[in-house]
Structure 1
Amino acid sequence: MSTNATRSGHGGGQLAVADALASLLRDGLPLRLTAYDGSAAGPADAPYRIDLRTERGLAYLLTAPGDLGFARAYVTGDLAVEGVHPGDPHDLLKLLMNHLKFKAPSPSEALAIVRSVGLDKLKPPPPPQQEAPAKWRRMLDGVRHSMGRDAEMISHHYDVSNRFYELVLGPSMTYTCAVFPTAEATLEEAQFAKYDLVARKLDLQPGQRLLDVGCGWGGMVRHAAREYGVKALGVTLSLQQAEWAKQRIDEEGLGDLAEVRHLDYRDVAESGFDAVSSIGLTEHIGVRNYPAYFAFLRDRLRPEGRLLNHCITRPHNHRQEIGQFLDRYVFPDGELTGSGRIITEIQNAHLEVMHEENLRKHYALTLAGWCRNLVDHWDECVAEVGEGTARVWGLYMAGSRLAFERNEIQLHQVLATKTGDQGNDGFPLRPTW
């Protein structure tokens, strides 16, 4: 395999751009890198090629090393990738994650790199329009996880385009981890199975009342009403989600049982629910707010009522904020921790934990399905939201799939009940789901 690098018009201790970037890698380049100055590095016969097309792209890479700089250059088109579809760059990301290890350059190497690229490349260019402000700038919009700031951050991610979500998520319009009964199951079958698993864990019965917080496009609300005859209320901070859900509820003739409100869950005044489901909301709550969050959900339940919490978790129980790319482009203000911390907080809210389940592998399969949909509908997705935003989603979903596959993140369902003072929990001796 050839690893020759070409240099164009550089001398006197200076490096060509491709060589300068390659020199920062501990083990060399695992792919072909070409740059706007005509230079190239890495194996000429590599299956993937990265083309750094502009000086702005180089400035992005140098001023924000790591995933943020790469994302900025990639989203703007200043950095192009050949050999992989932008809707599903999973295999490329897997290669990069396994083989790209950076080293600290020596003073002479650092000087050569600076001479090669120029001091002007060390000034950060304006970020792409898809990027949310930095954390310190977001503080100007209110305290973290205040109602106003949460509404803005949720809107940043979910109020993209309902049509775009239809193309990527498929007919179920479900943007949470599915449950695959078999590896061959379709995404739609797996999303139905997920909702039904939640319903069975909650032991939903006709005539009961369900509160679904962070309800998205109303998938759980509609499933509970349609399949179990439950009177279900869902709330979401996304106006576009609420409007879509209301229309679908009317189309399915579920208006007498199902309701979705554009509302912060903290503004739900009703109580006495037989069950509460929280599917994909805890990631947006903030770890410090877990005590108030689970206490609020507990107070919405009747005695012996059940809570099902479904959320992305870490494989450890430390509070850890998400990476810069995810924080700026996907889930601003998002935080993750382990299932142990979540179970602890649920127990501290005086709820009895009855069962927990890790669905990590299922989320990897779910994300693979979403990426397939994005690839299949790429042109229409680009027409709907623009190529930059479509690139963000391909990068985010493929990267998340890889993280689930590598056990860097997990997905846990935790089932709890509001046990009475005399120990009455409403559960049979063995699970029925």
Structure 2
Amino acid sequence: MKLAEAFERVVGRDAQVEFRAYDDSRAGALGADVRVEVRSPYAVSYLVHAPGALGLARAYVAGHLDVIGDMHTALFRMQSAMGQLSWADKATLLRGILNDPLLRAAALTRLDPPPQEVRPARVPLRSGLRHSKRRDAKAISHHYDVSNTFYEWVLGPSMAYTCACFPAEDATLEQAQYHKFDLVARKLGLREGMRLLDVGCGWGGMVMHAAREYGVKALGVTLSKQQAEWAQKAIAEAGLSELAEVRHLDYRDVTEDGFDAVSSIGLTEHIGKANVPGYFEFLYGKLKPGGRMLNHCITRPDDKEPSIREEGFINRYVFPDGELEGPGWLISRMNDAGFEIRHEENLREHYAKTLTGWCRNLDDHWDEAVAEVGEGTARVWRLYMAGSRLGFELNWIQLHQVLGVKLREDGGSGMPLRPSFEPPSAG
């Protein structure tokens, strides 16, 4: 059996994908707009040593396997076709592939994971207590301290690396990011003269929005030094230094309290399940009575699977030590910390659209991105973002916003009788 034919059988004959291999074989939908190329026997070796998504990812990141055409389209078509095969069928087909003498020899070749993968031999990250301040700082640095220039190309002018909220189907990514920040501001009831704490503030998007649009005195904190430096420069250039500040600081080291509002946009995924109760209790303690907190984070659809997959692609390449919980579990912990839960919504489809924009931006700046961060890192991001888009589309992952309030001593919430978060034009 030729290698391309074997891959076609593993992926499924109905996938509208062409396969080409280094043995000059071709299979699948010849002439399709997406093509998978197996460029060397090492691709097979990666797959044998780490069967499944991690092995394929290693082969792709290392350049021994390539995807020509739109990555999301390729992943969607292969996932749709492979979903028709049982794991027993896939195992049988894989054994058939390895009966080829050349491939069997390649499979015996022990390969190191590509250097972009986080592992103990390269980065002293996995030593020490998970989610200690030192280890969290290294995990955040691995993901965010890549290159501000690279992120500018991928994220666009907003520099918002969190789910946007599209006010209309045809809204641009920049319009949707503005709408997301403004939605958070309205949910928090921000008004001039208030104080906002934004934990895990990234490049300062929410901090600057609150200061510029609402006259709020806003403090943001991030574990990424590069993010903090970029944000402080942007704040100064925007003339917002009297109202806005971003510090390179662990949220647990914020000493100020008495805030009118707290926003957490994309941080909960990083803090770990064991720390979630204390995390919500800490933020509750930072608020004035009557203050509101908005938690915006990626979640799992349920709590049936482990919250972290040690050997998964995302944990090994993208978000070291990241943990996702189900929305119900998170809301319960938030409620137990003292918050009265007032509003919740799932923005799953919005994140798929957000990632579509980021993937397009990366493709548009591909050559520049490779020159800036290296081909391996650029490949990690291309695969990660396209796969994440697919995950949101297929409901493997979700994005929830949960609004809570710290009640006053008399039990008053200060909330309107009906939500007034969306502007009238949004219906």
The normalised TM-score by structure 2 is 0.91
Q: Secondary structure at the match of 2:36?
A: strand
Written as runs of structure 1 = structure 2, the 5 A alignment for 1:192-207 is 192-207=178-193
Report what 1:64 is aligned to: 50
Asked if 1:419 is matched to 2:407, the reply is yes
Written as runs of structure 1 = structure 2, the 5 A alignment for 1:215-294 is 215-294=201-280
User: 1:134 and 1:92, CA in 2 relative to 1: closer, same or farther beyond 3 A?
Assistant: farther
Match of 1:96 among 78, 86, 100: 78
Report what 1:303 is aligned to: 289
Q: Could you tell me how far apart the structure 2 residues matched to 1:113 and 1:199 are?
A: 60
Q: Secondary structure at the match of 1:320?
A: coil
How far does the alpha carbon of each residue in 1:391-429 deviate from its partner, in whole angstroms, 9 at most, with x for none?
Answer: 211111111111111111111100001113431212122
Ranges in structure 2 where 5+ consecutive residues have no aligned partner? 422-427
What is the identity, as a one-letter code, of the residue corresponding to 1:38? Answer: D
How far does the alpha carbon of each residue in 1:214-233 deviate from its partner, in whole angstroms, 9 at most, with x for none?
Answer: 00000000000111111100
Measured after TM superposition, the shift of residue 134 of structure 1 is 6.8
Q: Secondary structure at the match of 2:419?
A: coil
How far does the alpha carbon of each residue in 1:170-208 deviate from its partner, in whole angstroms, 9 at most, with x for none?
Answer: 111000011111011111111111000000100011111
User: 1:49 and 1:428, CA in 2 relative to 1: closer, same or farther beyond 3 A?
Assistant: closer
Q: Could you tell me how far apart the structure 1 residues matched to 2:39 and 2:250 are?
A: 44
What is the identity, as a one-letter code, of the residue corresponding to 2:400? Answer: H
User: 1:107 and 1:277, CA in 2 relative to 1: closer, same or farther beyond 3 A?
Assistant: closer
What is the identity, as a one-letter code, of the residue corresponding to 1:388? Answer: G
Measured after TM superposition, the shift of residue 74 of structure 1 is 1.1
Report what 1:209 is aligned to: 195
Report what 1:385 is aligned to: 373
Asked whether the 8 Å contact 1:358–1:412 carries over to 2, the reply is: yes
Report what 2:323 is aligned to: 335
Report what 2:425 is aligned to: none
Q: Could you tell me how far apart the structure 1 residues matched to 2:93 and 2:55 are?
A: 23
Equivalenced residues, count? 415
How far does the alpha carbon of each residue in 1:239-281 deviate from its partner, in whole angstroms, 9 at most, with x for none?
Answer: 0000000000110111111010000001111111000000000
Q: Secondary structure at the match of 2:404?
A: strand
Written as runs of structure 1 = structure 2, the 5 A alignment for 1:364-379 is 364-379=352-367
Report what 1:359 is aligned to: 347
User: 1:143 and 1:384, CA in 2 relative to 1: closer, same or farther beyond 3 A?
Assistant: same
Q: Secondary structure at the match of 2:185?
A: helix
Asked whether the 8 Å contact 1:134–1:328 carries over to 2, the reply is: no
Q: Could you tell me how far apart the structure 1 residues matched to 2:350 and 2:92 are?
A: 44
Asked if 1:48 is matched to 2:30, the reply is no
Measured after TM superposition, the shift of residue 388 of structure 1 is 1.7
Written as runs of structure 1 = structure 2, the 5 A alignment for 1:71-150 is 71-82=57-68, 84-85=69-70, 89-100=71-82, 101=85, 102=87, 103-105=89-91, 109=95, 113=99, 115-133=101-119, 140-150=126-136
Bigger Cα displacement from structure 2, 372-381 vs 227-236: 372-381
Ranges in structure 1 where 5+ consecutive residues have no aligned partner? 1-14
Report what 1:5 is aligned to: none
User: 1:203 and 1:46, CA in 2 relative to 1: closer, same or farther beyond 3 A?
Assistant: same
Q: Could you tell me how far apart the structure 2 residues matched to 1:329 and 1:117 are?
A: 27
Bigger Cα displacement from structure 2, 332-341 vs 322-331: 322-331
Asked whether the 8 Å contact 1:291–1:349 carries over to 2, the reply is: yes
Asked whether the 8 Å contact 1:16–1:116 carries over to 2, the reply is: no
Asked whether the 8 Å contact 1:371–1:397 carries over to 2, the reply is: yes
Measured after TM superposition, the shift of residue 45 of structure 1 is 4.0
Asked whether the 8 Å contact 2:289–2:409 carries over to 1, the reply is: no
Q: Could you tell me how far apart the structure 2 residues matched to 1:97 and 1:111 are?
A: 20
Asked whether the 8 Å contact 1:235–1:261 carries over to 2, the reply is: yes
Match of 1:345 among 305, 310, 333: 333
What is the identity, as a one-letter code, of the residue corresponding to 1:194? Answer: K
How far does the alpha carbon of each residue in 1:315-365 deviate from its partner, in whole angstroms, 9 at most, with x for none?
Answer: 113452257111111111111121111110001101110000111111111
What is the identity, as a one-letter code, of the residue corresponding to 2:308? Answer: E
Q: Could you tell me how far apart the structure 2 residues matched to 1:387 and 1:126 are?
A: 17
User: 1:295 and 1:50, CA in 2 relative to 1: closer, same or farther beyond 3 A?
Assistant: same
Q: Could you tell me how far apart the structure 2 residues matched to 1:111 and 1:347 are?
A: 53
Measured after TM superposition, the shift of residue 432 of structure 1 is 2.6
For the aligned residues, what is the CA RMSD?
Answer: 2.3
Q: Could you tell me how far apart the structure 1 residues matched to 2:43 and 2:98 are?
A: 19
Report what 1:12 is aligned to: none
Written as runs of structure 1 = structure 2, the 5 A alignment for 1:169-188 is 169-188=155-174
Report what 2:308 is aligned to: 321
Bigger Cα displacement from structure 2, 24-33 vs 157-166: 24-33
